[in-house]
Structure 1
């Protein structure tokens, strides 16, 4: 028989527990007790819930809620961040760094870091244009320029950037040869990946700027890695030899040019010296011509003496006396001249020539007398 069937059977499971008549809690009684407590707090007597006490309790609760709501509206935007304010889910404005306040449940703020340079790596095995497999590792560095576009242009900005980055790398590697990616073409590949990534991101308008692109590593499969290492070493040796040859060329070429310029300047100086010397000889003979025409004998004797002076100034002199006792007298004038000052050499030679002329008056007759004096010198030596 059911506990609630007619017949006076009182088997209510909510009553008569523990020997007492108990049942489920009455919600009306619960609310009434709460209101009675607020009524007492507000000045009611004996737990009575009159209208005045109820109003004071409600006012107190509302005041506390307002205070909590106001305090919960304070927030801080850091120096490197910009705040995107949404009012009822729609973009309202930006806020600058500092202590700010917003109406809770009305505005929501999304802080976005716009100064930190972020990095996103990417790697994978890719097929090159010449149908070889290489593993490439690159890293892109970017910075947020427009917080609103970064937050709402796409659903997940980092995921979209990662997929675009992978696509740009595979496109560039797929249009490059393996040797270029592994050796000398890395810089070109890096620049091409950056340009391709910017072209992919432009339609999305994500509000980010690509700061730099790093080509971290590119290596062939492990099975052929040793052969490629040898090829790379050979290319490095080739480049080193080229650099050494260029350095040697840069060292030798200026030296050769300097020698050429020096020889050209010396030749020009010799040319000018020869021209000036010839012109001087011409001028000297032109000056001597009137003198010779006026006094041929005197002029001829003077030229003869000047010639002897210039000859004897550059040769060793030996004087032999054949007169008197007949003994040979040796006078080493060259040793004497070495002890004298070079400035006195012309005067000494001139005095020697004058002494010879005084001893041999025939010297005044000109150059033809030299044969007679030579015969005398030879006879003296004999």
Structure 2
């Protein structure tokens, strides 16, 4: 009958305190287990018939427990972004993915966890120190020759990650050192095929792309399991001994380019204006040409018609031409014609004052007789003009 069945008095087999309520005493529980283990190994108080088989049975239980515990140590967890590489007595078995996995515990099998998402990097030509990232040059790695036999100081940072954990662990003895040597080799090859000005100025992006491609080709040929993600050109400059002279040359080149740009800007501003002015002059000349030609053609046409009229009445035509010429000439001159025929008064006319523009506040002084005389002259001029017109018509007829 068990201790907790009805009628069993509910006695606790560990503590023996069936009459007490509450949790068992920890010391009593430990003492009870010690007694049981002592009974298994023959150290108990009871020396019954089964005491001779107790040690063998106890060893079997311990061995089974040890085997179970040993098997439990084979469980392992691979986190996200990692891969597990299992080896059996040093030989590759399988690559496990993130999650819970199991393998034969050591010393039969072992597992090495590789982070395949971590961004790693190496520095070539310099070493960064501290949080300020001060660049300390390594001349042995940084100095190299260019195509035009100049020396440049180049510093690179290569970022990479593991793309195949098996290849990364087994194909190359030291993948990081191999990557660094491949970077130096590719860098010297690319820099050696380029000129110094190209390396220091506009060719940086192209050089970085070439170096990255060559590094990846080398590492793929070794099956290193490394993927180069980026190559950063930290600095490229001439050696310290010639930096001042080289900076002066760069400033002179920049001034040259600036002046060229200013000249091109001035040219782009002046040339269109000059072309527009030239086109305007050409159009004006064309217009003047057409005007002169049209006027000449009109004059020719007029003289042709005038010649026909002249042949019909030469005297009349000559007289009309003379009058028209006199009218044109006298129209451009300041001429005053006064007809004083039949008059006895002496006229005083300030011709120079009359021809000038009278001001608004100063009027020229004219005698009263001179004011009355022009009115009479104008009245008398009309019959004289009519008589001259009749005489001209009569001569024409």
TM-score (norm 2): 0.52
- The within-5 A match list for 1:1-382 is 36-37=36-37, 73-77=76-80, 81=81, 83-88=82-87, 89-92=92-95, 100-103=99-102, 109-113=113-117, 116=119, 118=121, 120-122=123-125, 123-127=141-145, 134-144=151-161, 146-148=163-165, 151=168, 154-174=172-192, 180-181=195-196, 183=197, 185-186=199-200, 187-188=202-203, 191-192=206-207, 194-195=209-210, 198-199=213-214, 201-205=216-220, 206-209=225-228, 211-214=230-233, 216-222=235-241, 224-279=242-297, 281=299, 315=332, 317-323=334-340, 324=343, 325-327=345-347, 329=349, 330=351, 332=354, 335=357, 358=385, 361-362=388-389, 365=392
Deviation at 1:217, TM superposition (A): 2.9
How many angstroms apart in 2 are the aligned matches of 1:145 and 1:256? Answer: 65
Aligned counterparts of 2:235 and 2:324: Cα–Cα separation in 1: 89
Aligned partners of 2:243, 2:339: CA distance in 1, in Å? Answer: 104
Q: Distance in 2 between matches of 1:129 and 1:87?
A: 49
Q: CA deviation at 1:301?
A: 8.4
Structure 2 distance, partners of 1:335, 1:322, is 24
> SS at the partner of 1:263?
helix
Deviation of the 1:216 alpha carbon: 0.7
Q: Conserved in 2, the CA contact under 8 Å of 1:39 and 1:57?
A: no
Deviations 1:9-32 (A, max 9, x none): xxxxxxxxxxxxxxxxxxxxxxxx
* Partner Cα separation in structure 2 for residue 102 and residue 216 of structure 1: 46
Question: Secondary structure, in 3 states, of the residue corresponding to 1:195?
Answer: helix
The alpha carbon displacement at 1:108 in A equals 5.5
Task: Name the CA distance, whole Å, in 1 between partners of 2:336 and 2:270.
Answer: 58
> Is the Cα–Cα contact under 8 Å of residues 318 and 333 in structure 1 kept in the other structure?
no
Relative distance call for 1:248 and 1:221 in structure 2 (3 A) is: same
Distance in 1 (CA, whole Å) between partners of 2:204 and 2:61 is 76
Structure 2: distance between partners of 1:38 and 1:296:
170
Counterpart CA distance in 1 for 2:102 and 2:392 is 136
Alignment gaps of 5+ in structure 2: 1-32, 126-140, 359-380
Q: Sort the Cα spacing of 1:308 and 1:125 in 2 relative to 1 into closer, same or farther, 3 A.
A: same
User: Would you say how many aligned residue pairs link Structure 1 and Structure 2?
Assistant: 298
Describe the shift of the 1:230–1:34 C-alpha distance in structure 2 as closer, same or farther (beyond 3 A): same
Contact 2:85 2:94 (C-alpha < 8 Å) held by counterparts: yes
**Alpha-carbon distance in 2 for matches of 1:158, 1:359:** 126
Instruction: Report the aligned-residue RMSD.
Output: 5.5
Corresponding residue SS for 1:102? strand
**Following TM superposition, by how much is the alpha carbon of 1:136 offset from its aligned partner in structure 2, in angstroms?**
0.8
* Residue 298 (structure 1) shift: 8.9
Give the structure-1-normalised TM-score: 0.53
Distance 1:260 1:117 in 2: 67
